[in-house]
Amino acid sequence: MTDYICFQPLLQEVGQIIGLFILNSVFTSGCIIFYGLRSFSYLLLNQPHMLYKLCFPLLLLGCIHCSGRKEHKTNRKPVPSTGTTTVSEETKRTETYAGRLLTYAQQNGYATDLAFLVDMKSSSGSNRFFVYSFEKKKIINKGLVTHGNCGEAFLTERRYGNTVGCNCTSLGKYKIGKKYYGRFGLAYKLHGLESTNNKAFERFVVLHGHSCVPDSETKPFPICQSNGCPTVSPHFLETLATYINKSEKPILLWIYE
């Protein structure tokens, strides 16, 4: 009890200070609100253009903030649902050309179990040589393949040709012919079946392997270029050879863009 009596004056003084602080805060806040509403009313009645100039930056900041939140929500990556398969552009293009090639094979007596397709629209550093199974209706193997340099040190754009000595890739359908062993080892002769590539045999355009072609993708970096031959890696050529050697009918190769 004695301790409480000794500290009672001090407690009373602290209480008075806290009370004055609260009263001062309430008074200050009231003044700010009062004069703020008064100024707003004055501007609204007498100078609305000034009110617009003052409020516009605040509205602009608010819009930017809301837009940022909306963009943040929009950019969230959707969680893929279970069982949903996204078909790539590569697959769509391959299936389209494979369907057309199957019709051609059926009408002209070529192999109808599989075919080779080369999509020149893809970069050389991407797998663009596809082994397509007509029976399974899908790509069963793929690898890198060169395109012709058209006589330049390094061709930077897509260009095609069909004249002797042009060193360009020729678009069109090919029949894969007999195998032989030449300058680059195992190779397969190619017979052009369209006006865009009917000089392939005369130009010595063949399917062969070369060590400059890697076994895996190098994109975005390109691979080496050829003098017009669809050149693959030696390992991938061995894989292609197994398909070719097992086929009872000639396999078709279609180089397209």
Q: Where are the domains of the chain?
A: 7-72, 89-256
pLDDT the model gives residue 63: 43
Burial class (CB in 10 A: 0-12, 13-18, 19+), 29: exposed
Can you give the pTM of this predicted structure?
Answer: 0.67
Task: Return the pLDDT at 46.
Answer: 58
Residue pair 207/232 in contact (Cβ under 8 Å)? The answer is yes
Q: Tell me which CATH code domain 89-256 carries.
A: 2.40.440.10
Burial (Cβ within 10 Å: 0-12, 13-18, ≥19) of residue 228: buried
Which residue ranges of the chain lie beneath pLDDT 70? 1-17, 19-21, 23-87
What pLDDT score was predicted for residue 90? 81
Question: What pLDDT is attached to residue 22?
Answer: 73
167-179 per-position pLDDT tens digit:
999 999 999 999 9
